[in-house]
Structure 1
Amino acid sequence: MKKMMLSMGLLAVLFAAGACGQATGEDRTNESQTAATSASSTTKDSQSGLPAEVSIMDGDKKQVTVATNPQKVVVFDNSALDTMNRLGVGERVIGAATDNLPTFLSDYKKVASAGGIKEPDLEKINALQPDLIIISGRQKDFQDQLAQIAPTLYLSTDNTDTWPSIQNQIKSIGAIFGKEEEATAAIASLQSKIDGLKGKAVTSKEKALVMLVNEGSLSAYGAGSRFGIVHDTFGFSQADDQIEASTHGQSVSYEYVLEKNPDVIFVVDRTQAIGGDDSQNNVAANELIKQTTAGKNNKVISLDPDVWYLAGAGIESVDIMADNVAKAFADNK
């Protein structure tokens, strides 16, 4: 009797053990999928050689975490697009504000239009299913809505600390895409160019005035403004150090320009950048401008509006801007 009870107990244990070890078909499928996902992630990390994420200081000067090596990116910030292009990861761009691209980035007109430069097409972006969206201040009002579609990184230039903040943006893009060495090399090259230009500007002691012309209307920009790079980075003294620091500049007249009498006048033609009536935008031809030191010495210099108005903080942008400003030292007489 005892032998029979022992045998029955042993059979029960063996049956229970077999039942516990036998998963359902659904369980086996889920386990296989989990293992495959884990293996895929391990392979991806091994291939990229990058950490899974990096900490970036965004345009609000907040530290944000961004996943590295995104494969599908929608870019509204033309400066970021510029830097991605120069760092060799432009093929990751699947959408942009294609109607407002600088000429030097015109190749990206072939990617999907993600909306206007000030009004993203949320439905279209959602359909693109990006891994990352990069925006500038022009799209800031849509940041929360875009973040519901995909991780959204806001980048912006600090007009009170221009070149360091541009470097931060270049380094951030480099870190996200595993192009840190290339970003560092690009910054070093630009720094060398900036140092040479700044040395000439300081030595010359010439005072400059930066103006934006829009269908005949003038706005002046000084240090701390969107075009403050002329002063704080490229080294030109200000013809007027009382200009109100404003995104849209200080509205001025031609009489004002004559009164301040700058040695160099830099002009950004907004109309050329976005379209409109530019028939009254020839600042150099104005009779009052001709009476200034800049006018007399042929130093009324047109800046590339595509770069200065539509971009301005990418690798190629800064390079072009430095070349534009260097015209002040050309033999224009």
Structure 2
Amino acid sequence: MKKNFSFLALFLFFAVFAVACGSDTNNATSGTGKTEQPAAVQELKIKHKLGEATVTKNPKKVVVFDFGALDTLDKLGVEVAGVAQGSIPPYLNKYKDAKYVNVGSLKEPDFEKISSLNPDLILISGRQQEAYPELQKLAPTVYVGVDNARFMESFKENMNTIGQIFGKEADVQKEIAEIEKKVKVISDKAKSSGKNALVILANEGAISAYGPGSRFGLVHDVMGITAVEKNLEVSTHGQSITFEFVAEKNPDYLFVVDRGAVAGSDGKSTASALVENDLVKKTKAFKNGKIVYLDPNYWYLSGGGLVSVSEMINQVYEKFE
């Protein structure tokens, strides 16, 4: 009887041991010997200008149409799957590589290519706004364009949204803090200087002006430089003006964005030849060497990203005295 009991006990011991071993082979263990459970998929409800999107945290396949969002993801070390390659500014030329799928132009997304990617997230801004209904059918789509009427507030909201989606909140906050330091320095300088400015867009022989609340209004609204004319039309294309207008307003600073250099028929810069004419040469801006040509890659093509906003502020910061 004792012999049978001992045999039964030994059998039960090995049976339990085998089950335990089998369990260990089916579950990953950490360095502490504890069983690791698969990470739970976390979904985020993201509200934006055009609606709301349910986004998986740390999405793997990301399609980007907004270059400000693209330079932000690049700065944060986040990889993307597809970009609109046609008008990519030089500072983002790495995204012309064939490993990134070309998903169309800024105004005309290639829905077929986007669909074939089966993306987890699409980031857009104003140029793709009309395509939003179709894009959101393909993947969660989030609008991250800045609101010119509240530039810094919307910029920070967009950056925090991107930080939240990709788990980069601390990195985003660090970059924003650096930008805000420069903004404070230049705005303090602007208040004490008493100087004013006019921002114009040069576009293949024509010019338009931008004031507070406009596309380039951060010169006034964020950096605090007084507008030589506050009652300008607020629109994407600015208020069409003449060089007589520039001479009459006689700004201390003339900030010029050359659209032709990045979106013109030949892609060549012609702004200086156009702007520095006999009328403009009579202004304080010309006489004091204060005509500042702003890089259109940041000011016209991008804007609204951690890199582009920082560079935009740097360009004014370096020239304003």
Aligned match for 1:43, one of 38, 41, 61: 38
Look up the SS of the partner of 1:186 in the other structure: helix
- Residues 1-333 of structure 1 correspond to what in structure 2 (within 5 A)? 43-45=38-40, 52-60=42-50, 62=51, 64-89=53-78, 91=79, 93-110=80-97, 111-276=100-265, 280-282=270-272, 283-329=274-320
Contact (CA 8 Å) 1:79, 1:311: kept in 2 or not? yes
CA deviation map 1:156-212 (0-9, x unaligned)? 211111111101111110000000010111111111111111111121121111100
Gap change, CA 1:164 and 1:279, over 3 Å in 2: closer
CA deviation map 1:91-138 (0-9, x unaligned)? 2x1111111112111111111110011000001111111111111110
Contact (CA 8 Å) 2:261, 2:269: kept in 1 or not? no
Q: Percent identity?
A: 46
Q: Residue type matched to 1:103 in 2?
A: P
Q: Distance in 1 between matches of 2:248 and 2:107?
A: 36
Contact (CA 8 Å) 2:182, 2:317: kept in 1 or not? no
Q: Residue type matched to 2:45 in 1?
A: S
Aligned residues: 281
Q: Could you list the runs of 5+ residues in structure 1 that have no partner in the other structure?
A: 1-41, 46-50
Gap change, CA 1:279 and 1:200, over 3 Å in 2: closer
Q: Could you list the runs of 5+ residues in structure 2 that have no partner in the other structure?
A: 1-36
Look up the SS of the partner of 1:133 in the other structure: strand
Contact (CA 8 Å) 1:58, 1:154: kept in 2 or not? yes
Contact (CA 8 Å) 2:253, 2:292: kept in 1 or not? yes
Moved over 6 A (4+): none
* Structural RMSD (CA): 1.6
Look up the SS of the partner of 1:148 in the other structure: helix
Q: Distance in 2 between matches of 1:279 and 1:54?
A: 44
Q: Residue type matched to 2:320 in 1?
A: F
TM-score, length-scaled by structure 1: 0.81
Q: In the TM superposition, what is the alpha-carbon distance from 1:66 to its structure 2 partner?
A: 2.5
Look up the SS of the partner of 2:208 in the other structure: strand
Look up the SS of the partner of 2:94 in the other structure: helix
Look up the SS of the partner of 2:237 in the other structure: coil
Q: Distance in 2 between matches of 1:59 and 1:287?
A: 45
Contact (CA 8 Å) 1:215, 1:279: kept in 2 or not? no
Point out the structure with the larger helix share. Answer: 1
Contact (CA 8 Å) 1:221, 1:245: kept in 2 or not? yes
TM-score, length-scaled by structure 2: 0.84
Q: Residue type matched to 2:44 in 1?
A: V
Q: Residue type matched to 1:160 in 2?
A: A
Look up the SS of the partner of 1:156 in the other structure: coil
Contact (CA 8 Å) 2:258, 2:270: kept in 1 or not? no
